[in-house]
Amino acid sequence: MKINISTTLNDRTLEVSVYPNQTLLEFLRDDLCLKGSVEGCGVGVCGSCTVLVDNRPVSSCLMLATDAAGKRITTIEGLGRNGALDPVQEAFLKHQAFQCGYCTPGMIMAVKGLLLNNPHPTESQARDYLSGNLCRCGTYVEVLAAVQELAGR
Amino acid sequence: MRRFELAEPQTLEEACALLNDDGDAKALAGGTALLTLIKHGIFIPKTLVNLKKIGGMSGIDYDRQRGLRIGALTSIYDVESSPLVCQYYPWLAEACHLVANIRIRNMATIGGNLAHGDYQSDPPTALVALDASVDLTRGTGTRQIKLSEFLLGSYETALQPGELLSALVVPPPDSWRGTYIKFTTGSSEERPCAGIAALLRMEQGICRDLRLVVGAVSPRPVRMHHAEEFARGKEISEAVLQTIGAEASRVVDPIDDLRGSASYKRQLVGVLVRRALAAVIH
Ligand SMILES: Cc1cc2nc3c(=O)[nH]c(=O)nc-3n(C[C@H](O)[C@H](O)[C@H](O)COP(=O)(O)OP(=O)(O)OC[C@H]3O[C@@H](n4cnc5c(N)ncnc54)[C@H](O)[C@@H]3O)c2cc1C
């Protein structure tokens, strides 16, 4: 039996019904066709499914969709405004902070979470906060350069 | 994910009744441990009882006489970032900060961490050193037991069917100075291979009291009572550090696992105990 919930997704209020065993990631991808958040490990280790819940990063692969009720969810699709990229996206482009791009939506959401929590992180704070977002191409140096630019603003 | 029924009670009483009436029902808090077990096919669920819609089960209070009280549903991140915890129990904040990654700490609850009873955890080690207790409830009435008696072994706790952990209670920090150190053999955000909590009370260079707990190497955190006794009344010299480290290394009964062999962990414990004590003193 499906459960009715009301949630705010990328600034829009939604009334939807979800399955008890559906993760937030499955709901975003399969029901809403928002394919930006991707599954890597499925068990909270890699970070490629990172989304923000009330401005805090979580692993959407380990969160039940029903727990989105009453919460504010932000996904990579919700970052740009009126066709313009978010400053975090701009900084990633400028510093080429990606290679294959699989981890990138999650990495950008984690950086967004970091800056919302701490607008001017030091490099060691950024390393600590982002340590659980894995990039198998090894673009960490470029990601940190993007963060340092954003932190200096 | 595998199918299950989901009950979403609004009160603690309702949740306990659901768990009591249905022996196959299992509580779900942050889900970081339980959903992983379900995904791996290790736990086959029938009914999950979602605790997160229950009000009043999260939050942190501090009172100088009674100490700290943390609701079971408080996220690990909220514990580490609480100004009260950072001010009065910095080593507990550190043990929570060293758990997993920021996403898991935002989702995982402190109650879930303790109730899961996984020996490869960080907060229980610091909390056993602090002589913390847990409140267990069946909806009506609550019993309070020491965390050291609650944690029985690997994935084993004193929770009875139909019982929930409602809060964590930590005595006042008095004049303890302390540290928690975590050692990982994988990446930095991995589960601990070993964790050491050391609390020290010094007076004019003399150790008045010591609490020393070794976590993550055996089925539950172990207090080093002999070493604690040995340290009392002594100046913590290099020789005393060596003796305490050797004693801890001798006493532990490590589990061979992916994070290290038993003999490796035994060696490691001696080194880490010395490091932890040296860090508190300096
Ligand atoms: C990728 C990853 C890395 C991790 N790394 C670390 C680490 O470095 N250090 C560390 O210490 N831990 C680590 N963990 C473990 C993590 O701390 C636990 O998974 C988490 O704390 C469990 O809390 P939860 O709220 O998510 O519990 P859940 O998954 O919801 O529940 C866990 C168990 O506890 C029971 N339970 C939950 N709440 C209650 C309650 N109030 N009363 C009674 N029973 C209850 C459930 O029935 C279930 O059996 C890691 C986990 C993951 C996924």
Looking at chain B, which residue has its C-alpha nearest residue A47?
Answer: B103
**Chain B residues touching A113 at Cβ < 8 A:** 102
- The closest-lying atom of ligand 1 relative to the alpha carbon of residue B95 is 11
pLDDT recorded at residue B189: 81
Is the pLDDT at A153 greater than 80? The verdict is no
Task: Tell me which residue has its CA closest to atom 38 in ligand 1.
Answer: B112
B5-50 belongs to CATH 3.30.43.10 = yes
Looking at chain B, which residue has its C-alpha nearest residue A53?
Answer: B106
Q: Kindly state the tokens that stand for A122.
A: 């030091």
Report residues whose beta carbon is within 6 angstroms of any ligand 1 atom. Answer: A 43-45; B 26-34, 36, 51, 72, 99-100, 104, 108-109, 111-113, 115-116, 121-123, 159, 164-165, 191
Judged by CB atoms closer than 8 Å, whether chains meet at B32 and A62 is answered as yes
When CB atoms are compared, the residue of B35, B40, B52 closest to A62 is B35
Burial class from Cβ neighbours inside 10 Å (0-12, 13-18, 19+) for residue B40 reads: exposed
Q: Could you report the per-residue pLDDT of A14-37, keeping only the tens digit for each?
A: 999 999 999 999 999 999 999 999
Q: pLDDT category, B77, cuts 50, 70, 90?
A: very high
Fold observed for domain B60-170: 3.30.465
Looking at chain B, which residue has its C-alpha nearest residue A46?
Answer: B101
Judged by CB atoms closer than 8 Å, whether chains meet at B104 and A59 is answered as yes
Distance (angstroms) between ligand 1 centre and the Cα of B115 equals 8
Distance from CA of A100 to the nearest CA of B (A): 22
Fold observed for domain B177-281: Enolase-like; domain 1 (3.30.390)
- The closest-lying atom of ligand 1 relative to the alpha carbon of residue B105 is 17
Query: How many whole angstroms separate alpha carbon B261 and alpha carbon B217?
Result: 10
Distance (angstroms) between ligand 1 centre and the Cα of A136 equals 27
**Chain A residues touching B106 at Cβ < 8 A:** 53, 56-58
Q: Which CATH class is domain A3-78?
A: alpha beta
Listed by start position, the domains of chain B span: 5-50, 60-170, 177-281
- The closest-lying atom of ligand 1 relative to the alpha carbon of residue B73 is 41
Q: Could you report the per-residue pLDDT of B194-243, keeping only the tens digit for each?
A: 999 999 999 999 999 999 999 999 999 999 999 999 999 999 999 999 99
Fold observed for domain A87-151: DNA polymerase; domain 1 (1.10.150)
Query: How many whole angstroms separate alpha carbon A73 and alpha carbon B233?
Result: 56
Is the pLDDT at B140 greater than 90? The verdict is no
Is the pLDDT at B139 greater than 90? The verdict is no
Task: Tell me which residue has its CA closest to atom 33 in ligand 1.
Answer: B116
Looking at chain B, which residue has its C-alpha nearest residue A49?
Answer: B103
Q: pLDDT category, B13, cuts 50, 70, 90?
A: very high
Q: Could you report the per-residue pLDDT of A73-124, keeping only the tens digit for each?
A: 999 999 998 889 999 999 999 999 999 999 999 999 999 999 999 999 999 9
Is the pLDDT at B17 greater than 80? The verdict is yes
Q: Which residues of chain A does CATH 3.10.20.30 include? A: 3-78
Q: What sign does the CA torsion over A104, A6, B11, B24 have? A: negative
Q: Could you report the per-residue pLDDT of A116-145, keeping only the tens digit for each?
A: 999 999 999 999 999 999 999 999 999 999
ipTM value for the complex: 0.97
Query: How many whole angstroms separate alpha carbon B143 and alpha carbon B165?
Result: 10
- Which A residues, 55 through 114, put their C-beta within 8 Å of a C-beta on chain B? 56-59, 62-64, 66-67, 69, 110, 113
pLDDT recorded at residue B130: 97
Judged by CB atoms closer than 8 Å, whether chains meet at B102 and A63 is answered as no
CB A62 within 8 A of CB B36: yes
Q: Which residues of chain A does CATH 1.10.150.120 include? A: 87-151
